[in-house]
Structure 1
Amino acid sequence: MYAKSYACKQTTQQLLQLLANQEQNAFTIGYTGAAKMMMAKHAFNPFTKISNFNTGKRLLNTAIKKEKGNTELIFLRYANQVSAPSFLGYDDNIEDDKQQLFRDLASRQVDEHLAKTVIAFLQQQKLTPTEKQQLTNLSQ
């Protein structure tokens, strides 16, 4: 649902409702935060946009503090940071998160579906030649 929420406000709202009814662990808190940031994209009012984004950012960062080694949460933060407009100033962890994702992928302890998603997303980013080669090696 999260992947589809980018294009559809209703899907994002359904995801938030689903997450609200789940046990509130780091995973659900992290996805709630990411979905709140996605709601900022769908909002018309600038104050609502900023409010949703900041709430989502706070929740996602809280989730990552609870589960520092969670590759999926790190990926959510990385994806949101590289996608966020620069004026929001949400870019403090981009390099650290990217390096963590490369380390986690190299360890081969990441779920295969998540690994494919992360690799596909990273391939669309600006990477150094070394990072591009690492991704090529990881995707084989």
Structure 2
Amino acid sequence: MKLLMSCVLFLMILPQKIDLKSVRETYRQSAENTEKTEQLDKILIAVTKNDKPALVAYKGAVIALKAKSAEKIKDKKEGFIEGVSWVEHAIEKHPNNLEARLIRLTIQENAPKILGYKKNIPEDKTKLLSGLKSISDSHLKNYIEDYILQSKVFTDEEKAQVAN
């Protein structure tokens, strides 16, 4: 019986491979859909700050998104700060990771001005625009391009650069 319980416990805590494509799609939908936010939170529950930088950044983004639903302003602010700390950690450890930069940009573009979290927009825009051509993962490249084309922080000229 102990052996059986040990095996079941081992299988439950085995790290599951997380599909980044599905994480990206769920994240795209989660800003406007709390059910998708909860779904993404469950997918990323086992992610730690030692995981891939994109996963760490997505986990931070989900924490920040969940904070929007908190009842108390203090909890909203604390949740947002915690989420942002995950994103910043990912970028600090991997400053050239374009997906983490994209995630930070999405948060900064949509964060209320009162939170004062908008200072890295120019830096992240530059990194994304200059690094776009070097991305070999076509799904990631299309994901970033789609974001740029609908974003309000990119100029028409920058969008035209991406569209060509």
TM-score range, shorter chain: 0.7 to 0.9
- Please, what TM-score do these two structures have when normalized by structure 2? 0.73
| Cα deviations by residue, 1:85-134 (Å, 9 ceiling, x for unpaired) | 11111011100000100011133x24222222222221222433431331
* SS of equivalent to 1:13: helix
Say which of 52, 57, 63 aligns to 1:30.
57
Contact (CA 8 Å) 2:125, 2:154: kept in 1 or not?
Answer: no
Q: Distance in 2 between matches of 1:50 and 1:91?
A: 15
4+ long deviations beyond 4 Å: none
Indicate the percent of aligned positions where both proteins have the same amino acid: 32
1:20 is paired with a residue whose SS is coil
Larger radius of gyration: 2
**In structure 2, do the counterparts of structure 1 residues 136 and 3 end up closer, same or farther at CA, with 3 Å as the change threshold?**
closer
2:133 to 103, 106, 116: 106
Give 2:116's aligned amino acid.
G
Q: Which of 147, 152, 161 is equivalent to 1:121?
A: 147
Count of residues in Structure 1 that have an aligned counterpart in Structure 2: 136
Which residue of the other structure, out of 84, 87, 92, is the alignment partner of 1:65?
92
For 1:42 and 1:4, locate their aligned partners in 2 and report how far apart those are by CA, in whole Å. 16
Gaps of 5+ in 1: none
Partner amino acid, structure 1, of 2:104: R
Deviation digits for residues 25-84 of structure 1 (CA, Å, limit 9, x no counterpart): 133321110101111222232122111111001110001111111111110001110111
Q: Which residue of 1 aligns with 2:123?
A: 96
Contact persistence 2:47–2:56 (CA under 8 A): no
Query: Does the 8 A contact of 1:104 with 1:110 survive in 2?
Result: no
2:80 pairs with one of 46, 53, 59: 53
Say whether residues 1:135 and 2:162 are aligned partners.
Answer: yes
With normalisation by structure 1, the TM-score equals: 0.84
CA shift, 1:11, in A, is 3.0
CA distance in 1, matches of 2:35, 2:153: 31
